[in-house]
Amino acid sequence: MITRRMIFVFGGVVIVVVLMLLAIVAVRQVLAPETVTLAQINRDIAFLSDRDGGQWGIYTINPDGDIIRLTPADDSGATDDCTPRNWGEGHCAFDYFPSYAFDGEMLNFLTNRHLDEIGPAQVRTDGTEFRVLDVLGAITAVAVDQRFDWDPQWSVDGRIGWSKIADLNLEIFIADADGSNERRLTRDGINGPRDWFLGWSPDGAALTYSSDRNGGIENIYRVDLSDEELTPVQLTDNPVDDFRATWALDGESILFISDVDDGLLRGDVQLFLMNPDGSDQRPLGSAVFEGGAAYSPDGSQMVYMSNEGGAWNLYLRDVATGDTVQLTDDAGDDLFPVWQPLPLTSGE
């Protein structure tokens, strides 16, 4: 299970990092080629794709329409086909679920390059400084880079939610677009459970997030922002780890990953659906899903994923006009887009 392998979770490693750093430093918490035809986008979009022979990797698409692979392809020589059915002893390398640091210059993600384990890694947005992080590497990265705030996600009304190191664990925060009215949604005590991978509901009234607060297994939780107590409602309670929940555009369902039989080690991204109250959990199967919306920092554009054509692709929508264009069109699947944030000091 994911949570039984401590090196799986970036949050878990960072917690260890912070504990060690507090002994030696005063911790500062800081906010902050293939070409397709597309409408102009105003920052890079990072996403997960298996377009290269079934090998999951981290990609970006830039405003010029160039799609660039940031994580290196597998060099084990195990096989030219990295689909789960061909995964064997000389396994392929798989990289998953990018999230930006607040300065927009570094991507955190998960990888199976940890000697057959899933763990944290980083790469710069220009593809340099790729690093699979052990504890020492994580200590160095945190101490030098001071990146404690990450995975910014904007709501339909321009608010921002993110994961932040607080009380020696990952917590969920939200704020207005300009950083004012900051509000802490989770408060678990020193070295408590981690809360991460948040997702806004389409109307901005609720958030889902992943947490290991119930017995060390990752589950999906929901918090309604109208609830003054911000009481977390547990949506999943399965014997395997469930995480990376994202809402359908119509708000009628939530898609999430359930890591059955440690499928991520083999490149098997297993998608499930449920109702917003957690009922009717079922494999995605042949169902069509449009969702996982990520808004641009200026709120003018939205990118989302859909399997309406069979394979998963990314779509760009102009918020004001509703005009939509398909961003990606390839033989593989393109999933879980995230928008590059504007640096807080850029003045943009």
Segment 318-330, tens digit of pLDDT = 999 999 999 999 8
Confidence (pLDDT) at 19 = 41
What is d(CA 98, CA 121) in angstroms, rounded to the nearest whole number? Answer: 10
Residue of higher predicted confidence among 197 and 34: 197
Question: Taking 90 as the threshold, does the pLDDT of residue 5 lie above it?
Answer: no
What is d(CA 152, CA 318) in angstroms, rounded to the nearest whole number? Answer: 20
Residue of higher predicted confidence among 68 and 189: 68
Confidence (pLDDT) at 75 = 58
- Residue 263 φ then ψ, to 5°: -60, -30
The tens digit of pLDDT for each residue in 276-315 reads 999 999 999 999 999 999 999 888 999 999 999 999 999 9
Two structure tokens written together for 192: 């408590």
The tens digit of pLDDT for each residue in 96-125 reads 999 999 888 999 999 988 866 788 899 999
What is d(CA 177, CA 343) in angstroms, rounded to the nearest whole number? Answer: 13
Confidence (pLDDT) at 263 = 92
* Mean pLDDT (the chain, rounded): 82
Q: List the one residue out of 343, 25, 13 whose CA is nearest residue 165.
A: 13
Q: Is residue 156 one of the residues assigned to a domain? A: yes
Beta bridge partners of 79: none
Question: Taking 70 as the threshold, does the pLDDT of residue 271 lie above it?
Answer: yes
Query: Is the Cα dihedral 310, 316, 321, 322 positive or negative?
Result: positive
Q: List the one residue out of 248, 268, 249, 251 whose CA is nearest residue 259.
A: 268
Confidence (pLDDT) at 41 = 67
Confidence (pLDDT) at 24 = 33
What is d(CA 176, CA 276) in angstroms, rounded to the nearest whole number? Answer: 24
Q: Is residue 314 one of the residues assigned to a domain? A: yes
**Domain holding 153: CATH number?**
2.120.10
Beta bridge partners of 171: 164
Q: Is residue 131 one of the residues assigned to a domain? A: yes
Domain that holds residue 298: 2-339
What is d(CA 12, CA 326) in angstroms, rounded to the nearest whole number? Answer: 36
Number of helices and strands (H, E) in the chain? 2, 25
What is d(CA 69, CA 58) in angstroms, rounded to the nearest whole number? Answer: 6
Q: Is residue 346 one of the residues assigned to a domain? A: no
Question: Taking 70 as the threshold, does the pLDDT of residue 140 lie above it?
Answer: no
Other Cβ atoms within 10 Å of 103 Cβ, number: 21
Q: List the one residue out of 136, 130, 165 whose CA is nearest residue 20.
A: 136
pTM comes to 0.86
Q: Is residue 41 one of the residues assigned to a domain? A: yes
Structurally, the chain folds into a number of domains equal to 1
Confidence (pLDDT) at 118 = 85
Residue 331's pLDDT band, with cuts at 50, 70 and 90, is confident
Confidence (pLDDT) at 89 = 52
Two structure tokens written together for 89: 């002893």
What is d(CA 245, CA 207) in angstroms, rounded to the nearest whole number? Answer: 10
The tens digit of pLDDT for each residue in 71-92 reads 998 755 555 667 665 655 556 8
Region of poorest pLDDT, from 66-70, 165-169, 337-341: 165-169
Q: What percent of the chain has pLDDT over 70?
A: 77
Confidence (pLDDT) at 188 = 78
CA dihedral 336, 339, 341, 342 (to 10 degrees): 170
Q: Is residue 344 one of the residues assigned to a domain? A: no
Q: In what order do the strands lie in the sheet with 95-100?
A: 95-100, 106-111, 119-124, 131-132
**Angle CA 211–214–219, to nearest 5:** 40
Q: Is residue 178 one of the residues assigned to a domain? A: yes
